[in-house]
Amino acid sequence: MEDGIDTIVLDDELAYIDVVPLRWTALTEPVEPDRANAQCEQNLRLLQALAALEDHGPSDKADENSPHSADLMRVEFKVNLLLDLVGQILVRAEPRPAAVPMRFNARSATWRTDDRALQAGTFGRLEIWLRDALVEPLRMHGRVVSVGIDRRVKLRFDALGAPVEDLIEKLAFQRHRRHVAGTRERR
């Protein structure tokens, strides 16, 4: 059954798509294993924090029959507002790169660039700021697979580590599920 909902994929896997600040830094060689392991730990903490910020699952929905339901919803709204305000202050204190449309999953990423020096085979680090309230970006190392005529870059990630890959897959799935729900609500 065709329901008109697009599924965003990259390398035959569900992908996270958004317009986010990102930075590409070219490196002369692949990242060292010790540095990659340290980066994996940082990415894991960042993705866990993001999951906590965006956790809107069924268990979060307040029981309308609970005597404290309205109070909890007001507190949650205020905490979310506070996090957004802190995020705005952080962005002003330390400006981020320009936001660009991109998609990524646990295997690869794609975006358009104006960098004419970027070419296939280049090693480097991709930094993605997923949310204003998070100080650090998600940092992933990899190798540029291709740069199209339209300047669309395709990057293949080095091993990110199973826990990080799992969280990225969950993030992409949650984004897709929200997109599907939003499309159905607009009908």
Structure confidence by residue, pLDDT tens digits, 170-183: 999 988 888 777 66
Position 135 scores a pLDDT of 82
CA 62 to chain centre: 27
Strand pairing report for 13-14 and 9-10: antiparallel
On whether residue 87 sits in a domain, the answer given is no
Whether residue 135 is contained in a domain is answered as yes
Alpha helix segments (H runs only) across the chain: 33-53, 69-93, 162-185
Instruction: Answer yes or no: is 71 within a domain.
Output: no
CATH number of the domain that residue 30 is part of? 2.40.10.220
Phi and psi, residue 102, nearest 5°: -155, 165
Tens of pLDDT, residue by residue over 36-63, are 889 999 999 999 988 887 765 444 454 5
Number of domains composing the chain: 1
CA distance 22 to 49: 19
Give the pLDDT confidence score for residue 117 in this predicted structure: 85
Q: Is position 50 within any domain? A: yes
End-to-end CA distance of the chain: 16
Residue 75 inside a domain? The answer is no
| 126 assigned to some structural domain | yes
- For CA atoms 31, 35, 40, 42, the dihedral sign is negative
Considering the domain boundaries, does residue 100 fall inside one?
yes
The whole domain housing 135 covers 9-55+96-185
Residue 112 belongs to a domain: yes
pLDDT tens for 115-174 read: 888 999 999 999 999 988 788 899 999 999 999 999 999 999 998 999 999 999 999 998
Cα–Cα distance list, 104 to 22, 45, 169 (Å): 12, 19, 10
pTM for this entry: 0.78
